[in-house]
A and B are shown apart, each in its own frame.
Chain A
């Protein structure tokens, strides 16, 4: 019985390892797709009519002011680092043909880190987007305010219900035109 217990315990101990690998594989794929979408949104040189770039902040894709946040890309406000926080959850999406269940933003905040980013239970993945000026040059503010590349760092963390220090983090970096 002792031998059987040891054998069973060893085998059972391997299960969490396999399960974790599978979860991580799924998470890393979703993280890559989210980062790809955010970078595509920010890359879109003519994104917002009023200037700036649009980032989706709700679970609906339709282009209306309620579903997107406009991130400034020119002028003096674009010289500071910009932070966007997003929480993604999985729900049936009725704006699609057969209403598949997909990950989309559930909550969003621009600027300082919101409380839900440190501790949350509802969403599945958390995303932090950092937009920074790259290759800043000397001279007046206007020299840097419209035509410089912007570095984008996308941090995707999961699972959202875990304490921040225990989440897996996937980091994606890209460079986009400013306007």
Chain B
């Protein structure tokens, strides 16, 4: 303010009335402000950590939900049939009416007989026939089943920052009814043939169902008191028999899934994904059981 332009009397009044903080007041105010800012920054830090933890949890939950929904619906209704002798389907060709209809199971031990280029070594898989709404194939014939499968495999995806990363995912193999008949005919017409003729071109016909999956276990529950109950083997199976133990006599399926949050998945080397310590420390795991149709 240009106070020197004011008349002398006004100048004197302006001098006496000018209110200002003392140095002590300013220092006290700065200290209070610093303390408040420190507290707020601390709170912000805690909050962002909690936020990122929550984000990790919701990511894995979202993937688990998608996987559980499809897996439980599909695996409870697989079509399977042992070889039939003296079939009642007389109108059908004998090869069709008598041939067994399998589901393929692999428990992670050894090598699977199906060819999956991006397969995660040591993980489990299941493939089978699934009832579906009827569709007409290229030849104009109706078909009302699809081929479906679940397995863990590697795949590249672009993260939110735009970087392409290679992680393991849960894949769903699906051949719609319109195209499922052709490989099924090949299977039915090749007695003793391998399941690779039924579940073909797995890499091309699979999509990611849930991202960052590190564990898929599919267990057929049985009474362990009787080892003979463990009847589901690696390869084609044609029925899911009920347990014949002294305690449990049903037939159920238990599914176990583990997912890494995106943040962890990006940092973890691929060969460390199935490490037990990492799975326990970083992954979120889910399990559920499915009641199976009685044999």
- Chain B residue numbers with a CB within 8 Å of A34 are 288
Say whether A138 faces chain B, with CB atoms less than 8 Å apart.
no
State A29–B247 Cα separation when bound (angstroms). 31
- Chain A residue numbers with a CB within 8 Å of B72 are 36
State A49–B223 Cα separation when bound (angstroms). 10
State A23–B222 Cα separation when bound (angstroms). 35
| Interface range on chain B (Cβ under 8 Å from partner) | 35 or more
Are B294 and A46 within 8 A (Cβ)?
yes
Q: With A26-B57, A29-B61, A63-B221 given, is the CB distance from A102 to B287 under 8 Å? A: yes
Q: With A29-B61, A100-B256, A102-B286 given, is the CB distance from A63 to B248 under 8 Å? A: yes
Measured CB to CB, the closest approach of chain A to B244, in angstroms, equals 9
Q: With A29-B61, A101-B280 given, is the CB distance from A23 to B54 under 8 Å? A: yes
- Chain B residue numbers with a CB within 8 Å of A76 are none
11 A–B pairs (Cβ distance < 8 Å), ordered by A: A25-B57, A29-B61, A33-B286, A33-B287, A46-B249, A49-B248, A54-B248, A63-B222, A97-B217, A99-B276, A100-B258
Those of A33-73 within 8 Å (CB) of chain B: 33-34, 36-37, 39-41, 43-49, 54, 61-65, 68
Which of A18, A39, A44, A103 is close to B51, meaning CB atoms less than 8 Å apart? A18
Are B248 and A19 within 8 A (Cβ)?
no
- Chain B residue numbers with a CB within 8 Å of A96 are 217, 256
B-side residues, CB < 8 A to A, are 33, 36, 40, 43-44, 47, 50-51, 54-55, 57-58, 61-62, 64-65, 68, 72, 108, 215, 217, 219, 221-225, 242-243, 245-252, 254, 256, 258, 274-276, 279-280, 283, 285-291, 294
Say whether A163 faces chain B, with CB atoms less than 8 Å apart.
no
A-side residues, CB < 8 A to B, are 1, 5, 8, 12, 15, 18-19, 22-23, 25-26, 29-30, 32-34, 36-37, 39-41, 43-49, 54, 61-65, 68, 92, 96-104
State A43–B222 Cα separation when bound (angstroms). 16
Are B276 and A12 within 8 A (Cβ)?
no
Q: With A19-B51, A25-B58, A33-B288 given, is the CB distance from A47 to B248 under 8 Å? A: yes
Kindly report which residue of chain B lies nearest to residue A36, judged by CB atoms: B288
- Chain B residue numbers with a CB within 8 Å of A98 are 215, 258, 274-276, 279
Q: With A37-B288, A40-B290, A96-B217 given, is the CB distance from A48 to B247 under 8 Å? A: yes
Measured CB to CB, the closest approach of chain B to A111, in angstroms, equals 22
Given contacts A8-B44, A33-B288, A100-B215, 17 further A-B contacts (CB under 8 A): A15-B47, A15-B51, A19-B51, A19-B54, A22-B54, A30-B286, A32-B68, A34-B288, A36-B72, A41-B252, A48-B248, A49-B248, A62-B224, A63-B221, A98-B215, A99-B276, A99-B279
Q: With A63-B221, A92-B280 given, is the CB distance from A48 to B288 under 8 Å? A: no
State A65–B68 Cα separation when bound (angstroms). 28
Are A101 and B248 within 8 A (Cβ)?
no
Measured CB to CB, the closest approach of chain B to A14, in angstroms, equals 10
Kindly report which residue of chain B lies nearest to residue A94, judged by CB atoms: B276
Of B54, B65, B250, B252, which is in contact with the most chain A CB atoms at under 10 Å from its CB?
B250
Are A26 and B50 within 8 A (Cβ)?
no
Which of B40, B44, B68, B274 is close to A33, meaning CB atoms less than 8 Å apart? B68
